[in-house]
Amino acid sequence: MSESEQNPGYDYRRKNADIAAQWKIDVNRDPYEIPLAELDPAHDDLFAANKVLPYFERLRKEDPVHLSEGGPYGRYWSITKYEDIMHVDTNHQLFSSDIRNGGIRLGGQRLEGEPDPLTYLPMFIMEDQPKHDEQRKAVQPMFTPQSLANLEPLIRERAALILDALPRGETFNWVRQVSVELTGRTLATLFDVPQEDRHKLIHWSDTVERLGDPDYFETPEEGFKELWNCWEYFDAVWKERVSRKEPGSDLISMLANSPSTRNMPPNEYLGNMLLLIVGGNDTTRNSITGGLLALNQHPDQYAKLMADPAIIPNMVSEIIRWQSPVAHMCRTALEDVEIRGKKIKKWDKIAMWYVSGNRDEEKIPHANEFRIDREGARHHLSFGFGIHRCIGNRVGEMQLRILWEEILKRFKKVEVVGEPKYLRSNFIRGITELPVMVQDR
C-alpha cells in the first residue's frame, strides 16, 4: 500500500505520483555511505529495483534494532536479526497486531475516532486475542492434513495442464502463464467459485499491493474503490452459500456459518477476503517465480536438482527462505520494552523484516548462498511464528512441490532469458515479470 495503510488522517485522494516524487531516492547509492541514522530500508523503490538486501546486511552488522524517522513511513523500528524477530513474533501479549493499534504493515497508524469505512478493512490477521483465534478457527478446517491430501490430485492435474500448454520455442512471462495460473486455480477451488473468475482474484490481489503505485492508480482512493468490487462479487457468493440447505466445505461457507464470522460488517468481510486472496496467491506465486530465478542464477543447484528429484521437498523450503515473499510484518509495542539495549516506547511501530532474518548468518550458516540441499531448510521465518503463523503454509509448499515434480517430468530446462521485473512493494517481495523459454526433455 502507499504511505499509509489505515491512517484516518491520511489523504487518500493525494496523487500517487506526487507521493512517489516526494520520497524519491537514489536506489543505486551505496547503503554503507549513508549516515546510519538516515538509513531507511522501507522505500518501495528499493524493492522495485531489488537493491534492498545490502541495507539489511548493514543493519544486521551495525544496528540490528534500528530507528527510522522522517521517511515515507514515519517513525518505526527495524528488527533485522532472526532471534529478535522470533522474540517479537511469538510475544503477542506485548506486541500487538490489532488494526486499531496500527496493524501489520508499515504506514498503519493507531486509530482515534471513527475510521473511514472505505479504507478501514479489518481482518483476522490484524486482530489480537481472543478475536484472532476465534476467526482463524473458522477457516482452519480447510487446511487440515486430510483436506490437503484431497486437494493434491487436483493441483497435480492443473499443474500438468498448465505446463503442457506452455509455448515451445518462444519467450513468455513465467509469472503470468505459470505462477499466477496455478495459484489462481487453487484459490478458485478453495472459494468454490468458477475457474474463469480466477483472473478477478489475481486482479484484486495485485490491486492490494499497487494502491500506492502511480503506474496503476492515480490515487490510493481509486484503488480502494476497485477493491470494493471484490466485496460486491463475494457478497453475492456469501448470499448463495447462506441459502444452501447443506453447508458447503469451501472457505466462504466456513466464514458464513461460523459464529465468529457470520455477522461481519461489509468492510470486515472484504478485509478477510483480501487476506485469504493475498495470502493464497502472492506468497506462493512469488516463491514459484523466485525459485525458478534462483535456480537459473545458481546453475550448480539446478544441476543438483536434475540429478536428484527427491531433493524437491527440501528445495521448496529453501526457495521460500530465499525469496522471503512476505518482506515484513509489523507489530505495535503495548508497553515500553527494550531489545538489544534499545528502548522502544509504548505505541512504537516495529517492523520484523523476515527478508533480513532469513539471511542472518548467525542463525543460518551460509545464509547468502542458495543451497537446495540445505540442512534444516525448514527453519526459516517466511511463514511467521506464534499465533499468526501462516495458516495456508502447507498449501503453498504443496503447490511448489507438485509443480517442480511436474516440471522435471517434462523439461530439460526452464531457462530465464531476460531480466526480471520486481514489484514496487516493501510488504510483498514480488516478481511481476520473468521472461523464460522451456526446453523439452
What is the distance between the alpha carbons of residues 295 and 301, in angstroms, rounded to a whole number? 6
**At 9, is the secondary structure helix, strand, or coil?**
coil
> Residue 272: pLDDT above 90?
yes
Identify whether the C-beta of residue 235 lies closer than 8 Å to the C-beta of residue 264: no
The model's pLDDT over 189-233, given as tens digits with 9 standing for 90+, comes to 999 999 999 999 999 999 999 999 999 999 999 999 999 999 999
**Grid cell digits, residue 299:** 546453475
Task: Name 157's Cβ contacts closer than 8 Å, sequence gap at least 6.
Answer: none
Check residue 10 and give its pLDDT: 61
- The dihedral region occupied by 135, where left means phi > 0, alpha psi between -120 and 50, and beta the remainder, is alpha
Cell of 252: 466462504
Under DSSP, the state recorded for 177 is I
Sign of CA pseudo-dihedral 13, 267, 194, 430: positive
Residue 194 contacts residue 188 (beta carbons within 8 Å): yes
Strand order in the sheet with 95-96: 65-68, 76-79, 349-353, 328-333, 95-96
pLDDT tens-digit readout, 345-365? 999 999 999 999 999 999 999
What's the pLDDT at 114? Answer: 81
Predicted local confidence at residue 276, as pLDDT: 95
Predicted confidence (pLDDT) per residue in 320-339, tens digit: 999 999 999 999 999 999 99
Residue 158 to residue 164: CA distance in whole angstroms: 10
Please give the residue that has the higher pLDDT: either 280 or 12: 280
Asked if the model's pLDDT at residue 11 lies above 80, the reply is: no
Residue 144 has pLDDT above 60, yes or no: yes
Q: Taking 90 as the threshold, does the pLDDT of residue 178 lie above it?
A: yes
Nearest CA among 144, 251, 151 for reference residue 191: 251
C-alpha cell at 300: 550448480
Q: Three-class SS of residue 353?
A: strand
Q: What is the pTM for the complete model shown?
A: 0.95
Q: Which residues pair with 351 in a beta bridge?
A: 78, 330
Q: Would the pLDDT of 4 be above 50?
A: no
Q: Which amino acid is at 404?
A: W
Residue 256 scores a pLDDT above 90: yes
pLDDT exceeding 90 applies to what percent of the chain? Answer: 89
- 8 Å CB contact between 363 and 83: yes
Average predicted confidence (pLDDT) for the chain = 94
CA-based radius of gyration for the chain: 21
DSSP state of 114: P
